[in-house]
Structure 1
């Protein structure tokens, strides 16, 4: 199996970073995470963040950049990513009023524009899914697939959130294989869910419904670069949750 990096999406520990960003990064590095994916920078200047990551031997995988920031502060976001050495910029989410078919037609145009700007700067643009991309169609094709069919791969790559893929009723293993070669980043999370549309729980790795070991194998075969742990909501203190998930990764992937 090809060795993939193990990262953490910092949104998972947002309460901890709000109190002490630097201290939280030190704890994450001590757990054994190899990289982090940002969702904001806690007001830390890019040069200071770069130096801290180098000290902790943490890779800057990339950053989740909201739609408003992409529209209004693209140059500043590019400069920050370049300084910290991040390779990826990811649109993570769309507000509810920006998800209908006509809105998506506009997003297709804008995403290609953003992708070109990032590519010029040596950064790869990607999109991170939830479930709503499987609920809207463009010309009879679900948005998730239309997005990647209509935008050239050099301008848009896939960051697949495998938990939301399964929750949407799609076979996660089949979808990983479908996007092999265009899927550098995989959000690895576990869901414990009832019927679609009912209350769901994001849980520590190994405590939910997803076939995580086959998913990791499929990710390796699809040339994924980073497995990124994310837990949207934690029942336990988030730092305890991500430590438990890292132990699961050590026992079921890293030490195999």
Structure 2
């Protein structure tokens, strides 16, 4: 697979809430090659497959809560298989799982889920926020997760904004974990440490992309948690800015 630029649909959640299909069609018109899901707009797997076929978009990932994986594993797998998506990402964990021992047990459980998913042709990844990068003993929770889990079964989806927000250099983190990062969430930061369009902020997007490429990453996912302009305009501006970094 060559580099693919996708949009995390959470960016345009205000639009998908009004018309999921029309919003996905607009994402394709902007020029994105793929989409990463954070919910499926109440579409069946068959309907979603047809929408992807119509637009030519590739499913490059899906965010699935830990509760859904624990309680409806087969349904989540079926959605992935039906839509041609081979990357399932856990995007968030409850606060009670963030303490040392609880986080260690959670990390160890990922190996089991990763094995089950791998047997179905799907890769498991974990998406960070800032709390995993805070000091926890002699390392961080995210470093501990990487050390605890099998690198062939559990990958990382690195969120550039939250890594930087935690005071960690995204490029340095990528370089510490070669071959481990399945996907990069490209998010930019203003000098005031708020969200902005990719390429309009303070992060070294081109450097991050190159480091990720060197590490074997080929999925680059645009996201803006809180666009200050209309969300589809935000998605388009990020895409246009990013294009030069990927050429």
- Return the TM-score normalized by structure 2: 0.95
Quick one: distance in 2 between partners of 1:115 and 1:83? 19
Residue 161 (str. 1) matches residue 153 (str. 2): no
After superposition, the C-alpha distances for 1:179-231 in whole angstroms (9 at most, x for unaligned) are 2212120000101144xxxxx31101122110111111212211111110011
Runs of 4+ deviating beyond 6 Å: none
Q: CA deviation at 1:106?
A: 2.0
Pair 1:172–1:253, CA change in 2 (3 A): same
Alignment partner, residue 44 of structure 2: 45
Across the two proteins, how many residue pairs are aligned to each other? Answer: 247
SS at match of 1:207: coil
Contact 2:104 2:148 in 1 (8 A): no
Quick one: distance in 2 between partners of 1:183 and 1:37? 16
Contact 1:191 1:209 in 2 (8 A): yes
Quick one: distance in 1 between partners of 2:207 and 2:109? 35
Q: CA deviation at 1:132?
A: 0.5
Q: Which runs of 5+ in 2 are unaligned?
A: none
Quick one: distance in 1 between partners of 2:18 and 2:178? 39
Q: CA deviation at 1:3?
A: 5.0
Match of 1:181 among 179, 182, 190: 179
Pair 1:100–1:136, CA change in 2 (3 A): farther
RMSD (Å) for aligned C-alpha atoms: 1.5
Q: CA deviation at 1:109?
A: 2.4
SS at match of 1:187: strand
Quick one: distance in 1 between partners of 2:2 and 2:87? 19
Alignment partner, residue 139 of structure 2: 141
Alignment partner, residue 197 of structure 1: none
Alignment partner, residue 127 of structure 1: 126
After superposition, the C-alpha distances for 1:123-150 in whole angstroms (9 at most, x for unaligned) are 000000011001252x633111111111
Alignment partner, residue 104 of structure 1: 103
Alignment partner, residue 170 of structure 1: 168
Alignment partner, residue 215 of structure 2: 222
Contact 1:3 1:220 in 2 (8 A): no
Moved more, 204-213 or 81-90: 204-213
Q: Which runs of 5+ in 1 are unaligned?
A: 195-199
Quick one: distance in 2 between partners of 1:114 and 1:20? 33
Contact 1:205 1:245 in 2 (8 A): yes
Contact 1:34 1:57 in 2 (8 A): yes
Contact 1:100 1:136 in 2 (8 A): no
